Amino acid sequence: MMVELAFPGTRSTGDNHAEDSLHWSMHSFHAATSSHCHRVGRIASLITRQLGLSDAEVHSIARAARLHDIGKMDVPNHLLLKTGKLTADERAMMDCHPELGVARIARLIDDPTMIAVIGCHHEQWDGCGYPRGLAGEEIPLPARIVAVADVYDALREKRSYKSAYSHAEALAYLVDASGTKFDPAVVDAFVAVSRRATRIIAKIYP
């Protein structure tokens, strides 16, 4: 699998200790974001396996998914803690988190898949995402996978402004946005694997 996207100024040393310490930092900074990232890693693994990618790719995408929102550590804390709707300015600040995450990770970890996932998990298949407005296969596949897992998890969670969706409701949302927000092949893979992995999914979302 080629991960072809490079962000300017990326540099890395390939250090697992750095990765571990980032997990700890994220957990102590905001435990809910850290838990979200871990669940997204588990869902992304199911999808990646269903797509027929290798064990190494499954592992690599899961690792990247577990840090995909690391850039939120560089967003003002009160935004993460805010229970009401974000203002337009606050939303703009929050939407910087993919680039902030790339800036933080690229100094520490040599992993193009991780850079691609962190930087592109809010891009959309139709080009209406952010930060770059990439479309279709311009978006690296690992980021297209994590985008589906990310939204699925966000829907399943109860948040201050919405109740938790059931699995069927969240799946219906993804299917509805297949081909617009999401890569249809990735949505199809999740639909297929979720029929077989009902017990695993029920454990992740008790």
The residue ranges that bind Fe ion (CB under 5 A) are 69
Report the 3 state secondary structure along 138-186.
HCCHHHHHHHHHHHHHHHHCCECCECCCCHHHHHHHHHHCECCCECHHH
Residue 84 C-beta: closest distance to Fe ion, Å: 19
Determine how many CB atoms are found less than 10 A away from the CB of residue 112: 19
Of 70 and 197, nearer to Fe ion (C-beta) is 70
Q: Which is nearer to Fe ion, 147 or 187 (CB)?
A: 147
Nearer Cβ to Fe ion (57/69): 69
Residue showing the smallest CB distance to Fe ion in the complex: 69
The answer to whether the peptide bond before residue 8 is cis (omega within 30 degrees of 0) is: no
Q: Check residue 46 and report its DSSP letter.
A: H
CB of 52 to Fe ion, least distance (A): 26
The smaller minimum CB distance to Fe ion, of residues 33 and 197, is found at 33
Instruction: Output 69 or 123, the one with its CB closest to Fe ion.
Output: 69
Q: How far is the CB of 65 from Fe ion (least distance, A)?
A: 11
The values of phi and psi at residue 68, to 5°, are -65, -30
Residue 154 or 175 having the CB closest to Fe ion: 154
Q: How far apart are CA 55 and CA 61, in angstroms?
A: 10
Q: Minimal distance in Å, beta carbon 122 to Fe ion?
A: 6
Nearest by Cα to 113 from 71, 152, 68: 68
Spatial distance between the Cα atoms of 65 and 59, rounded to a whole number of angstroms: 10
Taking the complex as a whole, the smallest distance from the CB of residue 153 to Fe ion amounts, in Å, to 11
Q: What is the DSSP letter of 83?
A: -
Helix, strand, coil share of the chain (percent; to 5): 65, 0, 35
Give the nearest distance from C-beta 97 to Fe ion in angstroms. Answer: 6
